[in-house]
Amino acid sequence: MTFRDASPDDVAAVTELLGRPAAGRFAIVVRRGDGAPVVIENEPHLRDGTPMPTLYWLVDRELHTAVSRLESDGGVHRYEGLVDGAELAAAHERHAQRRAAATTRRDAPDAAGGVGGTRVGVKCLHAHLANYLATGDDPVGELVATSVGLPELVRVDVRAPVAALDCGSNSTRLLIVDGAGATLARDTRITRLAQGVDARGVLADEAMGRSFTVLEEYRGVMDAAGVSRGLLVATSAVRDAANGAQFLAEAGRRAGVPARILTGDEEAGFTFAGATRDLATDDRPTVLVDVGGGSTELATRVDGVTYSYSMQLGCVRVTERALGREALTPARAAAAREMIERELDVAFTQRPAFGALGPVRLVGVAGTVATLAQLDAGESTYRRETVHHRVITRATVVEWRDRLGAETPEQRLEHPGMVVGREDVLVGGLFVLDAVMGRLAADELITSESDILDGVAASI
C-alpha cells in the first residue's frame, strides 16, 4: 500500500470525471471546497509498468474546459513568452525531482521529463495548472490560474501521517501511517466500552470514561507524530446504545478528529480491505471473520462485489448473555451454541452467497484471533511477526476453547500469551470462531493483524 491508494469513493469520482478508469494508481491532492477532485497525483508508472510522465493531472471538468479554451486560442505559445526562461526551467526540474522521489519501481523504463513530459518550453497548460495547484511553484500555472479564475480549493498533503482510531466494544485502538503507508504507531487498550450495553441499552459512564482517557492519550501520540488528518470510527457498542451519538461527539472532540458510527456493512468492508491488502493471491474465495466484542462480521468478495453481514454476537455479548465469566457448565455452553447457530442461520439466509462459496480461505482478525495466535505460539510478549499470518487449525480453536472453558479467568491468565482484559471473554469469542469455521467447512484460518484500522487509514 502507498499514499496513492485512493479510496473507492475517490476512484469512482475520478472515473466519472475521466470517463474511464484511471490506468494507474493515484491520490487526490487538490479538491474543491465540497471535496470533489480537482487534481490527482499519478504514480510514476502505470499498473503495466508504462512510465507516466505527468505527475499531476487536472481532472476538474470546469477548469479543464476553461484551460482548453486558452490553448485553442494560442495560449501555449503566448504563456511561454510571458514567463522567465530560467524560472520555467526550474519548474520543470522541480517536477522531475518530485517524480523521481515518488518512483518506487526499478524494474521498468522510466521517464525523466518535467511538466507535461518535457523539459523545454511549454507543452500543456493543463499540466502546468495542475502542477501549480498541487505545489504552488509553477510560473506558467500561476498565470493560467489568474486567467481562468479559481473556485474555493483545498490542497491535500497526501504524504503527511494520518491516523485511524477504532472505539470497539472491547478495545480502543490507534493506527498512524506515514505517506508511504508504513506504520508509525499501532496500539490497543482494553476499555470494555460494551460493558452492560446488552442489558441496559446505554453506555456506562465508567466505560465511556475509560475510552475518553485513552483517546486523550492517543491525541498526544498523534501530535507527536505530526498527524494532520484522521478518522475515528465506532462500531457495535455505540451503534446499539441509546447514548451512542453523545459518546461519539465527545470521543471525536477528545481525539481531535472527525468521528462516525459505521454500519455493520461498512465495518465489514473496511475490515476486509485492511485484512486482505497484503495477502498472497489464492484461487479460493476469501472470507473474513471479525470476532468483536458486541458483533461478528463476515465478508467476502465475489466477482468484484462485496457481500457482508454483521451478526449480533461477539465475545462480550456471548459471555454476558450465555457463558458467564467463570468456568463453563454444559448448560451454559449449550446456550452459547444455540445463540450463535441462530445468528449464523440468519446470516446465511440474508447473504446466500456465503453458502455457495465452496472451499474458502478464511481470514480472521481482531482480539479473539490475535490472542488465540499468541496462546498457540506460547509467547507472553506480543510480536506482530508471530501473530500476523499465522495459520490456526479448527482443532486448535476447539482445544483452547475447551481448555480455557474449564478454568477460571484467574487461571487463564497463567497461560503464556493470554492478554490481560480478555481472560473473561476469550472463550465466548472462541465459541463464535469455531461455529463460523464449522459453517464454512474451513479446517484452518489465517490470522491477520491488518484489519479495520488499515482499511480506514487507506480511505482517508
Own/partner long-range contacts of 394-398 (Cβ < 8 Å, ≥24 apart):
394/434, 394/437, 394/438, 394/442, 394/443, 394/444, 394/445, 396/372, 397/372, 397/430, 397/433, 397/434, 397/437, 398/434
What percentage of the chain has pLDDT greater than the value 70? 97
> Rounded mean pLDDT of 239-262?
91
CATH class given for the domain over 162-261: alpha beta
Distance from the first to the final alpha carbon of the chain: 13
> Rounded mean pLDDT of 371-397?
92
pLDDT band with cut points at 50, 70 and 90 for residue 4: low
**Hunting for cell 476469501 — which residue is that?**
286
In the chain, residues under CATH classification 3.30.420.40 are: 162-261
Q: What is the pLDDT of residue 346?
A: 94
Side-chain-side CA neighbours of residue 24 (13 Å): 24
In the chain, residues under CATH classification 3.30.420.150 are: 280-459
> Rounded mean pLDDT of 382-402?
93
Rg, C-alpha atoms of the chain: 26
Q: What is the pLDDT of residue 24?
A: 85
Per-residue pLDDT for 8 more than 80?
no
Q: What is the pLDDT of residue 105?
A: 67
Q: What is the pLDDT of residue 166?
A: 93
Per-residue pLDDT for 15 more than 50?
yes
The residue ranking higher by pLDDT, 409 or 159, is 409
For 280-459, CATH number out of 3.90.1170.30, 3.50.50.60, 3.30.420.150, 3.40.50.970 equals: 3.30.420.150
Q: What integer best gives the mean pLDDT of the chain?
A: 88
pLDDT in tens, 106-142: 677 777 678 887 778 888 999 999 999 998 889 999 9
The residue ranking higher by pLDDT, 49 or 167, is 167
**Hunting for cell 488528518 — which residue is that?**
229
Per-residue pLDDT for 277 more than 70?
yes
pLDDT in tens, 205-242: 999 999 999 999 999 999 999 887 889 999 878 888 89
Q: What is the pLDDT of residue 145?
A: 93
Dist CA 259 CA 117 (whole Å) = 41
